[in-house]
Amino acid sequence: MAIKPIVFIPDPVLRQVATPVEDVNAGIRSLMDDMLDTMYDAPGIGLAAPQIGISKRVIVMDCSDDDEADAPLKMANPEIITLSDASQTMEEGCLSIPGHHGEVTRPNGVTVRYLDENNEPRELTCEGLLAVCIQHEIDHLNGVLFIDYLSRLKRDMIVRKMTKDARGQKG
Ligand code: NI
């Protein structure tokens, strides 16, 4: 298990469509563990493999409250099967776009099908924060970021700022 460096926009890996996992073997299980370590360390409530530079369809999440036991979720090849008609608006952020937030409206409930860490097919139905988190992380696997749901003005402002910061880091 290891903490990996998180990549920020405008890194092109964040805009790629990630490749499905063939099966959840030891290598993918170790990727999932590294992703959870990286996510808890950040700290964040979700992380997609492209955010550590690996363009594979793997996501991890933990939306438990601070006073609850950890509830890590590890998913390979997650697919949304149903979305609720009802929607909710929440303020979202992203570990790949640190320091920026925005309100995003998404379906309130979701059913997702995926492979767990033992390569077993599973289905999960949830709503609220976890449903938002799952949609946000699956978006990452399709090269979609939460800023894509904001106004063009706000999105351009964030991208410009992050691009400037990235240039600054390279010196
Ligand atoms: Ni994100």
Spell out the domain ranges in the chain.
12-170
Q: What confidence score (pLDDT) does residue 170 get?
A: 61
Bridge pairing between strands 58-61 and 46-48:
antiparallel
Phi, psi for residue 35 in degrees, rounded to 5: -65, -40
Q: What confidence score (pLDDT) does residue 151 get?
A: 97
Of the candidates 76, 72, 69, 22, the residue with the CA atom closest to the CA atom of residue 44: 72
Ligand 1 midpoint to CA 25 (Å): 25
CA distance 49 to 72: 15
Segment 129-133 shows an average pLDDT of 97
Ligand 1 midpoint to CA 143 (Å): 10
CA distance 83 to 115: 19
Tokens of 17: 């469509």
pTM of whole model > 0.85? yes
Query: Catalytic amino acids?
Result: 137
Ligand 1 midpoint to CA 37 (Å): 16
Instruction: Determine the CATH number of domain 12-170.
Output: 3.90.45.10
